[in-house]
Structure 1
Amino acid sequence: MRLLPCLLLALTLATPLAQASPSPASHATAPTGTVLLVGDSLSSAHRIPAEAGWVNLLQQRVDHATTTPPSIVNASRGGKTMEDALKELPALIIAHHPRLIILELGANDAILGANRQALEQHMTQLIDLAQASGAKVAVLGFEIPAKLDKDHCADTLRQVYARVAKDQHVTLLPSLMAGISDKPALLLDDGVHPTAVAQLRVLDNAWPTLRPLLIN
């Protein structure tokens, strides 16, 4: 998110021995499939190595948490708006057939001046597209920092996330950057994006929301 100014293994027949030795609870079994994350620069490893980004760390954590991890496709890029995502999502769905679509979007739209009606309409359209494909949906929100809060866009976006998630019955994490945005040491020099060191904290914010959808 370039914030102004400046995403099915074949089942084998169980043998009696395998039935007598279930997997430990710490390494749960889950359905395989693709997870599609559609986001902006908060999820695109902005100005840090891609392998250090929280989405790559999420894949590593899921790989260790389940015997059948899904593949996470990260379709995030800096500056992406919901209008951009609406143009891209149909082709992404066709290409990847995701069972879960994670939307980390909205801040660029709000900061660029989109009104509440447009924000709600575009988020609803994205969710409708995702659900029509048969995928589950999760929304990761962003609390716009005070320095970028023009015309109360932070409050507007916060209300839009809550309203749309409730109306569309989707999982919502209100702020992916909770406990990070207010700590300058965890931010790049733009005062907005998390450093490489802070990526694990971003993941820890997202994990309680995403874990039940990824490995249960």
Structure 2
Amino acid sequence: MKPFEVIPAIDLRGGYAVRLLQGDYTRETRYHDDPVALAQHWAQRGAPRLHVVDLDGARAGYPVQLELIRRVIGGVAIPVQVGGGVRSEEAVRALLDAGADRVILGTLAVEQPEVAGALFEKYGERIVCALDVKSGRAVTAGWESLSETHYLQVAQEMAQRGAQRIIFTQIERDGTLQGVDFEPLIELLKTVSVPVIASGGVRDASDLTILRALAQSTSLEGVIVGKALYEGTLGDDCWQ
């Protein structure tokens, strides 16, 4: 069976591990005051990698919590992918130097596709394209700016420019525990052939069962899970 990764999300804000509801900074739940210990907890449970987002950086436009990110990465033996405010090669280099296995581009890919393409070409699999979507359109600037561009158009262009992996987040489902909306994900998988990681809305093991089955016939390779882990709606065997 094709491998499928269930990846815990650790969102950083003000030094804490938090979750936002649908990306809304005014609807925050603080889950842990020690993100390093939290990362170690998920690693010990069997997580294959971690997904870390600097929410302060996403708003500021540059990495804000670089030292904390460095400590999170240094505290675990599994690979860590990092995003949030990565809008320059300088930011990419800073996160790679901090030990990130992969660095995630979101806003830059939508607003400066030529720059993103050059980074894809230079860094290869170390760079991931984040496709954050609301109402069918790409969202930028920490999920606070809705573009006019349809998400499939962005996906096609990024794949053509050399993106070797896409993280697809459905913002309306993120943090809601409503379950995954599979139709937009399937449309994306029909549009591009590069590996895709799904994100947003996972509720329980039934979502994972469908995603794993979908992965066997598509380029889907994993899912990022946040609130379902923190609220305990996924069992300890979700990594298997």
TM-score scaled by length of structure 1? 0.43
Task: Select the structure that is richer in strand.
Answer: 2
User: Which gives a bigger RCO, structure 1 or 2 (Cα 8 Å, sep 6+)?
Assistant: 1
TM-score scaled by length of structure 2? 0.39
Task: Select the structure that is richer in helix.
Answer: 1
